[in-house]
Amino acid sequence: MLRYVFQYKFSILLAILIALLSLIPASSMPGSSLFSIPHFDKIAHFSMYAPFGFIALMENRCKKQCLKYHLFIVASVFLLSALIEILQATVTPAREAEWTDLLANLGGLIAGYLAYRLLGGYRLFRFLKS
Residue 34 belongs to some domain of the structure: no
Greater confidence (74 vs 62) lies with: 74
Per-residue confidence (pLDDT) for residue 67, from 0 to 100: 85
Residue 60 belongs to some domain of the structure: yes
Residue 52 belongs to some domain of the structure: yes
The C-alpha atoms of residue 109 and residue 103 are separated, in whole angstroms, by 10
Residue 29 belongs to some domain of the structure: no
Quote the pTM value.
0.83
With contact defined as beta carbons under 8 Å apart, do 15 and 80 qualify? Answer: yes
The domain total for the chain is 1
Domain span at residue 87 reads: 2-24+40-129
Per-residue confidence (pLDDT) for residue 25, from 0 to 100: 75
Mean pLDDT of the 46-74 span = 88
pLDDT above 60: residue 35: no
